[in-house]
C-alpha cells in the first residue's frame, strides 16, 4: 500500500474495492490496529489514531468482522460471544453478562442463535452471524467487514445487507470490503477503489457505474465468457446409492445417485451445510462413504479444489513453492527418481504465479502471508495446472477478483472441453449459470433437480 488516503463517514456504507492483493485488507488491518504502517496518519472524530494497537481501536469504536472466522471451534456460541468482551482474565467469567449485548443485538436483528451449540457445529452462514454479533456487542461506531458475503448463499447475502442498512440508518459507518460489483451496487453509498496498493478513485455510487468500477479495479474488463453447455462424450463418473457420514457421525449424504459424462459439468447448488463438503470429499477419495459406489470409467488424474483453503487446501506455515509442490511433486518432468529437479521446479512455480497472477513478494514466502484471494489462487493453480480426468471444484472462485474469476472459469471449461468429468459444487448461482451443463441442488443431503428455490432455502440455518 502506497500513499493511500480515504475518508469514511458515519451513517453510510462505504465499499472498498480492488483485485486480490490490491491492499484492501491491509488498509483495514491498519485501521484495526493489526498492522503498523511505515508512514502516514489517521484520526477519528478529531482524535489521532494510535497505529498497531487493536485494543485502542476497539476503545475508540472500531471493530472488524474478519474474512476468516475467528471463532473457537470447541466453544459454544455463548462462550464465543462472551470471549469478545473479555478484556482480561482477572475476574470471574460471567458468560450471561458478557454475552448480554450480543444477545440483545440478535433479538433486535431478528436472528435466532442457538447459544448452546458448539461453533464448529454451525453452518457457515450462522458462523458469520456470530462473528457479526461479536463485533456489534461493543456497539462500534465503525464496523469493518472483510469479504462477508464470500461464504453466504443469495438469501443470506440479502439478509446481511438488510442488517448493514439498518446499522447505517442507526449512524454506524460501515466499511465493506467486497469483490462482486452487483453486491456493491445494491448496498453501498460510496466506494473507494484500490489497485496495486494505490488509491484510484472514490465516488458516490449514484455517480458511477459497474463498468466504470470494473475499469478502475482491473484497468480493463475481460471479454464476456461464451461458455456453451458442453455435451457428454462418453461415460465418466457413476455414483449409486451414496451414503456419507459427517464428522460427528451424522448422515450428511442420504443415498443419492447421479452420472457425469466426459465433457460435462454437473453443478451442485444449494446452501452450504447440506452435505456439499462430505460429497466432495467422497468423490475426491479423502472421505470413505458409508454405503454405495463411486465408479470412474477411466483412470487418470484427479484434481480437487476444497471448500476451506486454510484448513484443507494449504499448509500455512510452508512457502508458496512448497504448497504448489503438494501436487507438483508427482510430475515426472520435475523429478528424477525420488529427487526434485530444483531448477525446473523454480521455473514451474514462476510459471504458475504468472499464469494465475498470484501477488506475492517471493515464492519462498510463507503462504499465510498472502491475501485470502491469493491463497485461493495457489490452491486453484496447482489443481488446474494440467487437465485432469476428474475435477471436483468446491466454490472455486470464492474470494477471487473479477479477472481471476474469469481465468478460473475459462480453465474449468478448458478441462471440460478436453473431456474431463467436472463436479462443480457452488453456492454462487452466477457461477453455476456460467459453467454448468446440468444442475441439481443439495438440500439436507438429498438431491433436488431443477429446483433452485428449494435448494437455496431448505438447508441448515
234: left (phi over 0), alpha (psi -120 to 50) or beta: left
* Position 232 in a domain: no
Per-residue cell: 352:
504458475
Assess whether 292 and 430 both reside in one domain.
Answer: yes
The reported pLDDT for the residue numbered 459 is 38
* Position 394 in a domain: yes
The reported pLDDT for the residue numbered 417 is 92
Give the pLDDT confidence of 299-310 residue by residue, as tens digits. Answer: 778 999 998 888
Assess whether 305 and 376 both reside in one domain.
Answer: yes
The reported pLDDT for the residue numbered 453 is 40
* Mean pLDDT value of segment 103-117: 90
Domain span holding position 336: 237-457
Assess whether 437 and 299 both reside in one domain.
Answer: yes
Do residues 363 and 346 lie in contact, with contact meaning Cβ atoms separated by under 8 Å?
A: yes
| Residue 66's pLDDT band (cuts 50, 70, 90) | confident
Angle of helix 124-136 relative to helix 154-169, nearest 10 degrees, comes to 10
Assess whether 148 and 278 both reside in one domain.
Answer: no
Highest mean pLDDT: which of 178-182, 221-225, 347-351, 353-357? Answer: 347-351
Closest CA to 25 of 130, 129, 150: 150
Assess whether 313 and 386 both reside in one domain.
Answer: yes
* Position 1 in a domain: no
Assess whether 163 and 255 both reside in one domain.
Answer: no
Q: How far apart are CA 311 and CA 151, in angstroms?
A: 15
Q: How far apart are CA 108 and CA 85, in angstroms?
A: 19
Assess whether 28 and 116 both reside in one domain.
Answer: yes
The reported pLDDT for the residue numbered 347 is 95
Query: Mean pLDDT, the chain, as a whole number?
Result: 86
* Position 150 in a domain: yes
Q: What separation in angstroms does the CA of 35 have from each of 29, 51, 206?
A: 5, 7, 33
Percent over 90 (pLDDT), the chain: 40
The reported pLDDT for the residue numbered 332 is 87
Q: How far apart are CA 166 and CA 13, in angstroms?
A: 10
Per-residue cell: 403:
479477472
Assess whether 193 and 298 both reside in one domain.
Answer: no
Closest CA to 103 of 126, 134, 60, 63: 134
CA dihedral 88, 80, 426, 189 (to 10 degrees): -60
* Mean pLDDT value of segment 261-281: 89
CATH code, domain carrying 283: 3.40.50.300
Q: How far apart are CA 356 and CA 365, in angstroms?
A: 17
Is the pLDDT reported for residue 250 higher than 70? yes
The reported pLDDT for the residue numbered 452 is 46
* Position 147 in a domain: yes
* Mean pLDDT value of segment 266-276: 85
* Mean pLDDT value of segment 438-453: 77
Assess whether 259 and 386 both reside in one domain.
Answer: yes
Number of domains in the chain: 2
pTM summary value: 0.66
Assess whether 203 and 92 both reside in one domain.
Answer: yes
Distance of CA 283 to the CA centre of its chain: 21
Q: What separation in angstroms does the CA of 299 have from each of 12, 264, 390?
A: 55, 17, 9
* Mean pLDDT value of segment 106-125: 88
Domain boundary among 218, 253, 284: 218
Assess whether 194 and 247 both reside in one domain.
Answer: no
Closest CA to 396 of 423, 416, 417: 423
Higher pLDDT, 204 or 150: 204
* Position 393 in a domain: yes
SS3 460: coil
| Residue 232's pLDDT band (cuts 50, 70, 90) | low
Assess whether 198 and 246 both reside in one domain.
Answer: no
The reported pLDDT for the residue numbered 456 is 43
* Mean pLDDT value of segment 148-172: 87
Contacts of 81 (CB under 8 A, 6+ apart): 98, 99, 102, 103, 115, 130, 133, 134, 137
Give the pLDDT confidence of 280-291 residue by residue, as tens digits. Answer: 999 999 999 999
Do residues 132 and 170 lie in contact, with contact meaning Cβ atoms separated by under 8 Å?
A: no
The reported pLDDT for the residue numbered 422 is 95
Amino acid at each position: 500500500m502506497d500513499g493511500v488516503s480515504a475518508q469514511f463517514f458515519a451513517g453510510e456504507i462505504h465499499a472498498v474495492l480492488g483485485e486480490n492483493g490490491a491492499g484492501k485488507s491491509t488498509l483495514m488491518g491498519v485501521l484495526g490496529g493489526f498492522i503498523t504502517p511505515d508512514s502516514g496518519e489517521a484520526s477519528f472524530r478529531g482524535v489521532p489514531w494510535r497505529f498497531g494497537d487493536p485494543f485502542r481501536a476497539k476503545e475508540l469504536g472500531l471493530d472488524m468482522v474478519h474474512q476468516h472466522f475467528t471463532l473457537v471451534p470447541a466453544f459454544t456460541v455463548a462462550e464465543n460471544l462472551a470471549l469478545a468482551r473479555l478484556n482480561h482474565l482477572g475476574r470471574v467469567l460471567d458468560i450471561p453478562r458478557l454475552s448480554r449485548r450480543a444477545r440483545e443485538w440478535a433479538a433486535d436483528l431478528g436472528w435466532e442463535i442457538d447459544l448452546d451449540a458448539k461453533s464448529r457445529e454451525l453452518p457457515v452462514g450462522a458462523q458469520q452471524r456470530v462473528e457479526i454479533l461479536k463485533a456489534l456487542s461493543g456497539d462500534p461506531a465503525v464496523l469493518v467487514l472483510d469479504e462477508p458475503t464470500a461464504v453466504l448463499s443469495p438469501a443470506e447475502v440479502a439478509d446481511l445487507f438488510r442488517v448493514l442498512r439498518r446499522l447505517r440508518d442507526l449512524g454506524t459507518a460501515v466499511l465493506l470490503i467486497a469483490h462482486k460489483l452487483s453486491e456493491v451496487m445494491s448496498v453501498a453509498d460510496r466506494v473507494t477503489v484500490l489497485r496495486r496498493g494505490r488509491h484510484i478513485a472514490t465516488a458516490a455510487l449514484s455517480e458511477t457505474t459497474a463498468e466504470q468500477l470494473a475499469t478502475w479495479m482491473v484497468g480493463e474488463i475481460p471479454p464476456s465468457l461464451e461458455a456453451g453447455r458442453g455435451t457428454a462424450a462418453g461415460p465418466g463418473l457413476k455414483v449409486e446409492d451414496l451414503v456419507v457420514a459427517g464428522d460427528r457421525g451424522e448422515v450428511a449424504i442420504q443415498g443419492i445417485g447421479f452420472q457425469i459424462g466426459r465433457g460435462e459439468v454437473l453443478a451442485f447448488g444449494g446452501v452450504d451445510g447440506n452435505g456439499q463438503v462430505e460429497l466432495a470429499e467422497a468423490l475426491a477419495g479423502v472421505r470413505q462413504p458409508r454405503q454405495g459406489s463411486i465408479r470412474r470409467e477411466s483412470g487418470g488424474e484427479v484434481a480437487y479444489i476444497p471448500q476451506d483453503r486454510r484448513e484443507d487446501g494449504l499448509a500455512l506455515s510452508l512457502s508458496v513453492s512448497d504448497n504448489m509442490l503438494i501436487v507438483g511433486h508427482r510430475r515426472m518432468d520435475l523429478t528424477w527418481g525420488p529427487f526434485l529437479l530444483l531448477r525446473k521446479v523454480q521455473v514451474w512455480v514462476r510459471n504458475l504465479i504468472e499464469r494465475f497472477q498470484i501477488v506475492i513478494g517471493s515464492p519462498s514466502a510463507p503462504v499465510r502471508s498472502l491475501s485470502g484471494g491469493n491463497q485461493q489462487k495457489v490452491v486453484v493453480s496447482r489443481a488446474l495446472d494440467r487437465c485432469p480426468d476428474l475435477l471436483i471444484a468446491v466454490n472455486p472462485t470464492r474470494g477471487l477478483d473479477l479477472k481471476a474469476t474469469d481465468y478460473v472459469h475459462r480453465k474449468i471449461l478448458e478441462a471440460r472441453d478436453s473431456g474431463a468429468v467436472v463436479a462443480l459444487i457452488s453456492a454462487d448461482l452466477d457461477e453455476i449459470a456460467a459453467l454448468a451443463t446440468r444442475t441439481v441442488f443439495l438440500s439436507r443431503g438429498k438431491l433436488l433437480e431443477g429446483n433452485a428455490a428449494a435448494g437455496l432455502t431448505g438447508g441448515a440455518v
